[in-house]
Amino acid sequence: MPSVGQTLPLHQLGRRLRDWRDGAGYSLERAASMVPGMSQTALHRLEKGMKAKPNPRDVRAICELYGVPEDLIDGAVGLAMQAAQKDWWWHAYGGDIPEDFDVYVAQETAAESICSHQPNLIPGLLQTPSYVLSLARESLPDAEPQKLERIVEVKTHRKAILTRPKPVVMDVVISQAALHHRVGSAAIMAAQLRHLTEMTALHPNITLQVLPFEAGFPGGVSMPPFVILDFGRASDGSPIEPRTIFLENVVGGIYLRKPDDVSFYDRAYDRIKQASLDAKASQTLVTRVAKEYDRE
């Protein structure tokens, strides 16, 4: 059986192959007969996300039969290669990733876009190594230095989705409190805030807004940190995977996929964004607070 880490790319790949076959007008039987070495059963299992180690060459041959554009073929082959691996990169870190958080990292890696609301901390994907290390030392005061270093390495790996060839689109709203809640020293905070402005300036796929103190609580509710994961849409316009809300807390993560739950958080995120400073004003505020740390 496929592992938890494999499930998402296998289902994404299967959905795309099924859509492309339907679009090309091939029956399952006919398509299988036209791909060397492919049986109808094997193709069915591939489309259902049940084939644990899909052969990238088979995937390319199937896509070429359906007339899929080359850039989409590359994406499908990439999913096949990813799913075919025994483990994804984060599995190598074992206990250095909190229990069940590897499931989130798998979904984060596969996401097409991410919306993140953080009231008290800088979002993980935008944290500097020094900020990560300071948090780790606070949460694990008795940990060996090697363990802390591996926690920083995990965060560094995760950030690669922001700069990969087809980067994730990330929309972030942080509370002004996140700029003032000190993590580590003043120098660490100054560098962290400058990193925020640099990332948004250099990478157009990243948008940052700050919810100022004077905005109060949009909607009259103090919202916890949450992330909205969107995995894109298939050729027929349907979601490749259900949009997912991730709520992280000290006892583990919660995943919400029911339409009513997703709609609730969509509306909450829209209210928070509307009450926040725009991107330019947010940059100005972050820069000002960074300079205040520099003067300490």
CATH of the domain at 220: 3.30.870
Average pLDDT of the segment spanning 10-16: 83
The reported pLDDT for the residue numbered 101 is 55
Reading across the β-sheet that carries 169-175, which strands appear in turn? Answer: 206-211, 169-175, 113-118, 226-230, 244-249, 252-256
Same domain, 152 and 253: yes
* Residues forming beta bridges with residue 115, ordered by sequence position: 171, 228
Band of residue 233 on the pLDDT scale cut at 50, 70, 90 = confident
pTM recorded for the entire structure: 0.71
For residue 39, with 0-12 CB atoms within 10 Å meaning exposed, 13-18 middle and 19 or more buried, which class applies? exposed
Distances (CA, A) of 268 to 50, 68, 178, 296: 36, 38, 19, 36
Residue where a domain terminates, one of 84, 112, 134: 84
Same domain, 100 and 216: yes
What are 254-294's pLDDT values in tens digits? 878 889 999 999 999 999 999 999 999 999 999 999 999 99
**Highest averaged pLDDT of the listed ranges 44-48, 157-161, 212-216, 248-252:** 212-216
Residue where a domain terminates, one of 37, 53, 84: 84
Residue 89 falls inside a structural domain: no
Same domain, 69 and 134: no
Average pLDDT of the segment spanning 52-67: 88
The reported pLDDT for the residue numbered 158 is 87
User: In total, how many domains does the chain have?
Assistant: 2
Average pLDDT of the segment spanning 162-190: 96
The reported pLDDT for the residue numbered 104 is 75
Same domain, 80 and 183: no
pLDDT exceeds cutoff 70 at 2: no
Phi, psi (rounded to 5 degrees) for 127: -85, 145
Quick one: which of 76, 84, 78, 74 has its CA closest to 20?
76
Quick one: which of 155, 161, 154, 72 has its CA closest to 108?
161
Same domain, 188 and 290: yes
Instruction: State the angle between helix axes of 4-24 and 56-66 in degrees (0 to 180), rounded to the nearest 10.
Output: 20
The CATH number given to whatever domain includes residue 9 is 1.10.260.40
Q: Which of 18-27, 49-58, 132-141, 254-263 has the least mean pLDDT?
A: 49-58
Range of the domain at 68: 4-84
CA 110 to chain centre: 6
Average pLDDT of the segment spanning 149-167: 88
The more confident residue out of 261 and 71 is 261
Average pLDDT of the segment spanning 168-180: 97
Band of residue 1 on the pLDDT scale cut at 50, 70, 90 = very low
The reported pLDDT for the residue numbered 232 is 85
Same domain, 259 and 166: yes
Q: Which of 163-172, 214-223, 232-241 has the least mean pLDDT?
A: 232-241
